[in-house]
Structure 1
Amino acid sequence: MGGLWWFILSALTIIPMVKILPFFGINKYWSVACVVPFGTIALLWWVGLKLTELERK
């Protein structure tokens, strides 16, 4: 049962990441990192860095 919840939560984070990451110039396949527990946090950090980079231009 725990694996089912893990799959559902992973899908709920991967789907938005597939749409968000290309906007920041990151390959959409990096969204698979959301399966790893800290993958989502790392991707959000990366998007934050890209956002500050875009604001400086």
Structure 2
Amino acid sequence: MTDTIIHLGFWELLIGSIVTTYTLIAGGWVLAKAGRSPLWILLLLFPYLNVVAVWVFAYMRWPFVDRPASPSVPDGER
């Protein structure tokens, strides 16, 4: 019987940590730009919950998209 254990070296862990950190920072920035709390990005760290979180985020109300259009002001009245 053979036990399969994944042994990650220093460089694999370092690159994985950098990629994960960059993904969390970039995702938090996108969420903030969308008018949501950047803490939503932490849900992506949990398996299966990340799929549900992305699905909910995609179909929730978007404040910057769903807001009513502001009336345009003619140039002479500014």
For structure 1, list consecutive stretches of 5 or more residues without a partner in the other structure: none
Aligned Cα RMSD in Å?
2.9
- For structure 2, the residue ranges without an aligned partner over 5 or more in a row are 1-8, 68-78
How many angstroms does 1:15 deviate by? 1.9
| TM-score, with structure 1 as normaliser | 0.51
Please identify runs of 4+ aligned residues in structure 1 that moved more than 3 A: 3-10, 53-57
Bigger CA radius of gyration: 2
Find the aligned partners of 2:39 and 2:19 in 1 and give their Cα distance. 17
Which of 1 and 2 has higher RCO (CA within 8 Å, sep 6+)? 1
What residue is the counterpart of 1:37 in the other structure? Answer: 47
What is the aligned residue count? 55
Other-structure match for 2:6: none
